[in-house]
Amino acid sequence: MSEIKVVSFDAEGTLVTPDFSYAVWFEAIPERYAERNGIDFELARKTVEEEYRKVGDQRLEWYDVRYWFDKLGLGTPDSVMETCRSKVCYYPEVGEVLASLSGKYKLVIASGSTRDFLNHLLRDIEPYFTRVFSSLTDYKQLKTSEFYLRVCQAMGVQPERVVHVGDNLQFDFVAPREIGIQAFYLDRKQQSDGRNALTSLIQLKAYLADADNK
């Protein structure tokens, strides 16, 4: 096995829980929509969710909080996102794993979240990372194999020397494997029986320690 140089992490669902994003999309945005339109929260939430559905997650706009604030007539998102910051929450093993790996490897984020979200999501752990890549903000695409290739190029590293971990089977496992990255699917809820599925990042740390000793 090639020597590992870079360990790449997805952000949401991998390092940080979905609570912050949920609060932005399904609480703070409907709340502001309700205020602006003088309607009650439940109706606002229904209306906003219907608008989300019409666009759908295959279009890039779906992920773009600025697009939504504009479309729904809500001004700019910054202060609204700020009100949700207490919802940023890391999985229990994250601090320990990052502290331990950051001494041995270059750590990067390879995320599908936009930078508007990453700025909040990574606030307490950002110092561990050499680079933060957002497929949407930086390359205007979802996490495709091409995105991972761009990440490797930017890091000046061959894909075989990169390990990536994330909680989406297509975006974090299939796509990076297509170009030869050693990818691991993180299945925190243990819903799959995949051989390469990890249930916590502690297992990634163990795998790397093991690979190191070979």
Kindly indicate which of the ranges 2-10, 40-48, 70-78, 135-143 contains the residues binding Mg ion, using the contact rule CB under 5 A: 2-10
Kindly indicate which of the ranges 6-14, 15-23, 85-93, 202-210 contains the residues binding Mg ion, using the contact rule CB under 5 A: 6-14
Say which amino acid occupies 192. Answer: S
Residue 32: CB minimum distance to Mg ion, A? 26
Under rule CB under 5 A, residue 10 binds Mg ion: yes
Under rule CB under 5 A, residue 18 binds Mg ion: no
Residue the block writes with tokens 């050499």: 130
Integer Cα distance of 165 and 207 in angstroms: 12
Residue 86: CB minimum distance to Mg ion, A? 21
Integer Cα distance of 136 and 112 in angstroms: 6
Integer Cα distance of 33 and 3 in angstroms: 51
For Mg ion, the closer of residues 9 and 33 by Cβ is 9
For Mg ion, the closer of residues 12 and 64 by Cβ is 12
**Measured CA distances, 107 to 11, 99, 182 (Å):** 12, 10, 14
Residue 46: CB minimum distance to Mg ion, A? 27
For Mg ion, the closer of residues 52 and 91 by Cβ is 91
Residue 54: CB minimum distance to Mg ion, A? 24
Closest residue to bound Mg ion by CB:
13
- Asked if residues 56 and 62 have their Cβ atoms less than 8 Å apart, the reply is yes
Residues numbered 127-186 forming contacts with Mg ion, rule: CB under 5 A: 167
# chain residues binding Mg ion, by CB under 5 A? 4
DSSP alpha helix (H) spans, the chain? 19-23, 29-37, 41-55, 65-71, 78-82, 94-101, 115-121, 135-139, 145-155, 175-178, 201-212
- Out of 5, 13, 160, 174, name the contact with Mg ion by CB under 5 A: 13
For 35, the 3-state DSSP assignment is helix
Residue 156: CB minimum distance to Mg ion, A? 25
Under rule CB under 5 A, residue 187 binds Mg ion: no
- Out of 6, 12, 137, 162, name the contact with Mg ion by CB under 5 A: 12
Residue 164: CB minimum distance to Mg ion, A? 11
For Mg ion, the closer of residues 116 and 167 by Cβ is 167
Taking the CB of residue 185, how many other CB atoms lie within 10 A of it? 21
Look at residues 165, 170, 200, 195 and name the one whose alpha carbon lies nearest to residue 4. Answer: 165
Residues that bind Mg ion (CB under 5 A): 10, 12-13, 167
